[in-house]
Structure 1
């Protein structure tokens, strides 16, 4: 009788334990669901608040990107490669570029990193294609990459991916085409930030670097009114500056300038509402104080992504000087 009672008691305890475990599982799943829902809600609000910025970032184009240029199929001489598992790289060649005339009038090689706050954007956005068309039409070989999202990969992984793209491009041009020129790095916003940091890791292999409206000191983002900029930085670095100031300083280009840092062009609009223009000004001053070649171009009316919106002479002049700089001319 006692044995039957024991078995019955044990079965009852087992049943209760199962109920507790099931309830606990439901609560855990619910908490995950609520957390994910809150994240999506917050992300949706951030996107809605930044619709004008996102629209011009994705669909804008350069004032030099004429209807004739867009119809000319200037990007038709193109190849695509998987430079890392799941990540792709496009290479666009000037129309005159062939196997037999591969070195004829090539102005340089540009590896382009798109913007998007490290957490969005892609290599074939219309605004990015506008830059590729312009540079290829000027005689540059332009390579462009996708990189992983910052919220998943983290900042160090994004830098490593850009460095791997440099190695892949160098090997491809050398082994397949016999071209052994240094690569120029160029990026917009977060892409410019990555380009500046990558240049500090391999300065001897980079011809020059161009960064448009990029955070050269990541702490400057916290002086911005942009919720998206602060959210993107905290998501990519996995920390807030109040708790990990050293991490923000470690991944700020201004703190990674080497003695042989390549010639640098910084471009910014004085009306930038996402990344304060003084971030580029500080970087420029630091480069010059160290005796390094650096240029700074400011647009008095420029907001973030101004070259895709404004059509004035100053914008066109900045774009043209960018091409000259990439060619190696310091004007």
Structure 2
């Protein structure tokens, strides 16, 4: 196993969608079974784009050096499923899969690594930050701590209905609705869009969105028009079954039992306003949840995929992983 070739295991099959997670193991010699803390790492992509190979590999490597088993997971992509019944359900099922012993059974087939089920944490960027936070409510057993990098929260904030001109500027003219709506014809619902929100491909090269593909055209159209939440979770719109987003919005679900949580957000973020993270942080403090927040100077959205190891941004975002380490410790390296 290497950073280029992780182990891969399927944790769920639903309506023809086969959902897997990449498994990265700390490199150490083991003569007998040893338990390691586990970190769930969830990619971003506005809930509509992305794949497990589209995360910051330096972050994964940093976590491995802390002695953690890292699961970089996939989930079904909206809009063929909605936010609650697709991505959130899948990530919650992964957490249950781990706690039910299935990860250990897989690891036992691949050597002496074992999961320390008392020390499981969750981390995600952008949409993945939201999904990591969704493990802090409405699940039978929480992770021990959560790290959220510029996650999508506080859906009642007016920002979520605002146009984003820099995204609108790259859309080709005359995209027909009948074409972009072909995304709904993708059956089974995909878990891989091949290109991320930033245009990063599975090889790590930045290629930009491909507007000859309905999914890319659909996703960027909704992002540019401030229509993402309405498309991925129509029950949150006026007259819907969940008009206040109580089932999906972390800021509506911070209880006194919510896991310790750390937030990292760029001060120049134009894709998810930092005000939404500040509201989450305020509520965490109000509920007296152990928490912290780092605001990163000069950084726009998705900076984790671009930052240089050793830079100021790198060191600032590492504070979030240091926070997790306080709760789940280090593995036996």
TM-score where L is the length of structure 1: 0.69
Alignment of 1:233-248 (within 5 A): 233-238=229-234, 241-244=237-240, 246-248=243-245
1:327 equivalent in structure 2: 325
CA contact (8 A) 2:272 2:301 kept: yes
Aligned equivalent of 1:172, options 86, 102, 109: 102
Residue 270 of structure 1: aligned partner: 267
Aligned residue number for residue 46 of structure 2: 117
What do the CA deviations read for 1:244-280 (whole angstroms, capped 9, x no partner)?
Answer: 4725354211001122100001111111111110111
Contact 1:74 1:94 in 2 (8 A): no
Shift in Å at residue 90 of structure 1? 1.6
User: What is the TM-score with the length of structure 2 in the denominator?
Assistant: 0.69
Does 188-197 or 303-312 show the bigger shift?
303-312
> In angstroms, what is the RMSD of aligned CA positions?
2.6
Count matched residues.
254
Contact 1:204-1:262 at 8 Å conserved across structures = no
Aligned-partner Cα distance in 2 for 1:240–1:84: 27
Find the aligned partners of 2:280 and 2:140 in 1 and give their Cα distance.
Answer: 16
- Which residue does the alignment assign to 1:93? 25
Tell me whether 1:232 sits opposite 2:228 in the alignment.
yes
Which whole-Å CA distance do the structure 2 matches of 1:188 and 1:293 have between them? 20
Question: In structure 1, how many angstroms separate the alpha carbons of the residues matched to 2:96 and 2:247?
Answer: 24
More helix by share: 1
Q: Secondary structure at the match of 1:89?
A: strand
For 1:187 and 1:179, how far apart are their aligned partners in 2? 20
Q: Which has the higher contact order (CA 8 A, sep 6+)?
A: 2
Q: Deviations over 1:140-195 (max 9, x none)?
A: 11012111111011111221111110122231344543633231111111111111
Give the distance between the partners of 1:248 and 1:202, measured in 2 at CA.
17
Unaligned 5+ runs, structure 2:
109-113, 165-221, 329-333
- The answer to whether the aligner puts 1:200 opposite 2:137 as a matched pair is yes
Q: Is the 8 A contact 2:21 2:73 kept in 1?
A: yes
| 8 Å CA contact 2:155, 2:245 repeated in 1 | yes
Cα distance in 2 between the residues matched to 1:197 and 1:121:
19
Say whether 1:185 aligns with 2:122: yes
* 2:245 counterpart SS class: helix
* Distance 1:179-1:290 versus aligned 2 partners, 3 A rule: closer
Report the Cα distance in structure 2 between the residues aligned to 1:286 and 1:178, rounded to whole angstroms.
32
